Chains A and B, each alone.
Chain A
Amino acid sequence: MDSTPAAERPVLTVDGYSMAYDTDEGRIEALKNVSLSIHRGETHAIVGESGSGKTTLAWAITRYLPDNAHDLGGAILLSSEDMLAKTAAELTDLRGRRLAMVYQDPSSSLNPSMTLGDQVTEVLRRHRAMSPQEARSEAEAALARTGIRNPAAMMTRYPHEASGGEKQRVIIATAFACNPELIIFDEPTTALDILTANQIIELFLELREETGVAALYISHDLGLVSRVADTVSVLYQGEVVEQGDLKTVFAAPAHAYTQRLLAALPRPQDRLAVAAPQTDTPLMSLENIGVCYYTPSLLTRLLEPKTVAQYGARHISFSVRPGELLGVVGESGSGKSTIAKAATGLHPFEGRIVFDGKVYDSARALDRAYRRQVQIVFQHPDGSLNPRETIGRILARPLRLYDLVPRAQIAKRVAELLEMVLLPPEFASRYPHQLSGGQKQRVAIARAFAAEPRLVICDEITASLDVSVQATMARLLVDLQARSGAACIFITHDLNLVRQLAHRIVVMRNGAIVESFAAEDTEQTDRAPYTRELIDAVPVLDRPAISATTEVPHQ
């Protein structure tokens, strides 16, 4: 965007602001001496890993803090007015009118028992003192500006009747409705699939152009940030480690942490994959697999003959060669995870699975040998380890269950497994809650490889991790694959990441396969339009000028 005149006073000034939370473990400093300023029409991005204080900063600016939070000094000024000195009543009046927020999850930031129209008009009536009729027509106009096709119909709907993208549009319409001075976006696209996220970004750019609002854009997605923001602050453990013009910072990061963040971004040209398999005989093939989520009962069929069975995925056929990494890509709801569940026997399926020459035609038929050879790693590291068992017992379980090593050597093998995923052996006696998300995911991966599998299914294993941890996780997986020779089905929505890792890629949408192709052919012109869209949706950032060759150990 164009540079702002220096004489104009900034919309938001944060000057040397520090704050802390009082917890059972004592005082924890969440923000240390944070300074930034945003001018009219400018978008300032805050980037950093989870726990770096991004969201706390947003709460601090809106003065919406829990009781155990304490300001430790500094100032927050909204158009030169001191936010710290404002009373609760003044703040209530100000929020929504002069300062709006857009949160991460559109489904939980709307009231499920009010129509979308009522939720927009409420803000207009409250802050712009409109009559009900005026507010309704203004709300309709606001919705129309966000590109909702039939705003009048959308006004009468309830949140559950709208898609995630539509809901986020309604929230953005509400945020812009009172022409606020500043809008804070807290990861507004994280909960949306990549194509919808892209549309939301376009919408934001358009509205910003129209209204000239100042925005604070919080995100961990550096690619998206590079498209929307003019200036950036890199937050690390509550401190701004680097600040400035986004293009300059991203092109030549000065601080080691920024360098690491940028280096961790997946770039398709940096191949990490193990050598491609030589053989063409598949290790496992799925033949015409279908997973049915809802079959109408006899009674339903009699009463409503139109109801049909609902499939999570249908007519899915693909195969994996030994040692290969097959990427499965698609937006949420495309049936990626459904396939993973069917292949591990967690959900009944139609069709057949051929594994190593043996045919399995139902989930019940999957025997112990199959279950040992096909392992799964789930998305959420917090959920995939039993919180009541130690890491050692968790890792020992597959060894005992499949009788892989003699009893006396289990402890030794567990230590080896921990070492394999780069964790110290004393972790064996710890409980899952004592580990970080990345460490837990390593344990989950170690557990899968403990069974000495020939195929590991990774269901979005990097999705809930920070960018920097994601990269190390991807490297770890490839390393384990190289050591064990296991094949891998890598399910993800991150096309850039999978292009680094996979030999072949399968694109899915609405429970069906769109196409499959070799990873190196991704850019070919004969790709399906949907694949094209996916590729275009994810910006690939250029490698920063200073290459981060030294790997900073992380988690």
Chain B
Amino acid sequence: MGRILSTSNGVAGVILLTIVLTAALFGPWIAPYDPQLFHSQARLQGPSATHWLGTDQFGRDLLSRILNGAPSTVLFGMGATSLGVCAGTVIGVIAGVAGGRTDGVIMRILDGMLAMPELLFTLLIVTFLGGGTLQALLAVGVAFTPGMARIARSAVLSVRTREYVLAARARGESRSWIVLREVLPNAIGPIIVEATIRVSFAIMIGATLGFLGLGAQPPSTEWGLMVSEARQFMFRNPWGVIIPGIAIAMTAMGFNLFGDALRDAFDPKRSL
């Protein structure tokens, strides 16, 4: 942790993440208004003393909506990522440890999946599964799997030929011991780092799906959906687009900077 805070990027990432995670944990309780309450007298207003961040087309308080949307948006990012990371890691470790033909077959299939852009792939899955938050989450998770599997495999490959793994094999250790105790703990660094960076992608893809109407459905306070809904009134009140846009960018940047700093901190070349 000390090493993460030693760079300005790391500090910025930690500050942004603290804000976002505080909002995600306590948002719904500290929100000043009910996020679905219409204030018909105060529609499409800019920031003011009563509505700190302004209101949308129905006069709903934007700050309250952002705070209420935080848990679902952040959870979406983390959920989709953990799904992709878990599935990807399992596949990657199997491919890396098995080697030979198994490895070849698994990796060729994944290469085929990787050839398709992540967003298109997600859209394809969502079209099959139908819209909705859970479906979108599943789709992003599946779309992340091939990339994560590649990273997990390369991490495993670099550890697999180390002498302590050879020593374990020579001792006659079981396969599961070698994978769980000797290989994985030493290969987990790059996987964790990649995962934090991917959380930001997941949030952005989630927002994109929300914007396209394929993710969360109204009157949900998911941030992507908020941007989408406010778009029509953008010229009358730009705040409706700017506020959730900034929230998304902050979260994505927070995870991204934190992930970068984490990667640098794990890099053995940086430690003396």
- The residues of A with any CB-CB pair to B shorter than 8 Å are 23-25, 341, 344-346, 366-368, 371-372, 375-376, 378-380, 383-389, 397-398, 401, 444, 447, 451
Chain B residues contacting A368 (CB-CB under 8 Å) are: 172
CA distance A383 to B163 in the complex (A): 5
Chain B residue with Cβ nearest A369: B172
In the bound complex, do residue A346 and residue B185 qualify as a contact, i.e. CB atoms below 8 Å apart? no
In the bound complex, do residue A383 and residue B170 qualify as a contact, i.e. CB atoms below 8 Å apart? no
Any A CB within 8 A of the CB of B169: yes
- Shortest B1–chain A CB gap in Å is 15
- Shortest B46–chain A CB gap in Å is 49
Q: List 15 A-B contacts (CB under 8 A).
A: A24-B272, A341-B166, A345-B169, A367-B172, A372-B171, A376-B166, A378-B166, A378-B167, A379-B163, A383-B164, A384-B163, A384-B167, A386-B181, A387-B186, A388-B186
Please report which residues of chain B, range 157-171, place their CB below 8 angstroms from some CB of chain A when the two chains form the complex: 162-164, 166-167, 169-171
Known: A23-B272, A24-B272, A25-B272. A386 touches B164 (CB 8 A): yes
Cross-interface CB contact of A401 among B163, B171, B182, B186, cutoff 8 Å: B171
Any A CB within 8 A of the CB of B34: no
Cross-interface CB contact of B162 among A345, A375, A383, A451, cutoff 8 Å: A383
Known pairs A341-B166, A344-B170, A386-B185; list 20 more (Cβ under 8 Å): A23-B272, A345-B169, A345-B172, A346-B166, A368-B172, A371-B170, A371-B171, A371-B172, A372-B171, A376-B166, A379-B163, A384-B164, A385-B164, A386-B181, A386-B186, A398-B171, A401-B171, A401-B172, A444-B167, A451-B171
In the bound complex, do residue A380 and residue B163 qualify as a contact, i.e. CB atoms below 8 Å apart? yes
Chain A residues contacting B162 (CB-CB under 8 Å) are: 383
CA distance A385 to B168 in the complex (A): 10
Known: A23-B272, A25-B272, A388-B185. A372 touches B166 (CB 8 A): no
Please report which residues of chain B, range 131-165, place their CB below 8 angstroms from some CB of chain A when the two chains form the complex: 162-164
- Shortest A519–chain B CB gap in Å is 27
Chain B residue with Cβ nearest A376: B170
Any A CB within 8 A of the CB of B267: no
In the bound complex, do residue A372 and residue B172 qualify as a contact, i.e. CB atoms below 8 Å apart? yes
- Shortest B256–chain A CB gap in Å is 26
- The residues of B with any CB-CB pair to A shorter than 8 Å are 162-164, 166-167, 169-173, 181-182, 185-186, 272
- Shortest A555–chain B CB gap in Å is 19
Chain B residue with Cβ nearest A374: B170
Chain A residues contacting B167 (CB-CB under 8 Å) are: 376, 378, 384, 444, 447
CA distance A447 to B166 in the complex (A): 14
- Shortest A346–chain B CB gap in Å is 6
- Shortest 4 CB-CB contacts between residues of A and residues of B: A371-B172, A383-B163, A384-B163, A344-B170
CA distance A375 to B168 in the complex (A): 11
A366, A397, A398 pick with most chain B CB within 10 angstroms: A397
Chain A residues contacting B181 (CB-CB under 8 Å) are: 386, 389
CA distance A384 to B161 in the complex (A): 11
Chain B residue with Cβ nearest A378: B163
CA distance A385 to B162 in the complex (A): 9
Chain A residues contacting B186 (CB-CB under 8 Å) are: 386-388
CA distance A38 to B181 in the complex (A): 54
CA distance A388 to B272 in the complex (A): 17
- Shortest B217–chain A CB gap in Å is 45
Chain A residues contacting B272 (CB-CB under 8 Å) are: 23-25
CA distance A389 to B163 in the complex (A): 14
- Shortest A537–chain B CB gap in Å is 28
Chain A residues contacting B185 (CB-CB under 8 Å) are: 386, 388
B172, B185, B272 pick with most chain A CB within 10 angstroms: B172
CA distance A470 to B170 in the complex (A): 25
Chain A residue with Cβ nearest B172: A371
CA distance A378 to B181 in the complex (A): 20
- Shortest B139–chain A CB gap in Å is 35
Chain B residues contacting A25 (CB-CB under 8 Å) are: 272
In the bound complex, do residue B164 and residue A345 qualify as a contact, i.e. CB atoms below 8 Å apart? no
Chain B residues contacting A366 (CB-CB under 8 Å) are: 172
Chain A residues contacting B172 (CB-CB under 8 Å) are: 345, 366-368, 371-372, 401
- Shortest A486–chain B CB gap in Å is 16
Chain B residue with Cβ nearest A367: B172
Chain A residue with Cβ nearest B2: A24
In the bound complex, do residue A345 and residue B173 qualify as a contact, i.e. CB atoms below 8 Å apart? no
CA distance A380 to B163 in the complex (A): 8
In the bound complex, do residue A346 and residue B169 qualify as a contact, i.e. CB atoms below 8 Å apart? yes
In the bound complex, do residue B164 and residue A346 qualify as a contact, i.e. CB atoms below 8 Å apart? no
Chain A residue with Cβ nearest B167: A384
- Shortest A477–chain B CB gap in Å is 17
- Shortest B112–chain A CB gap in Å is 22
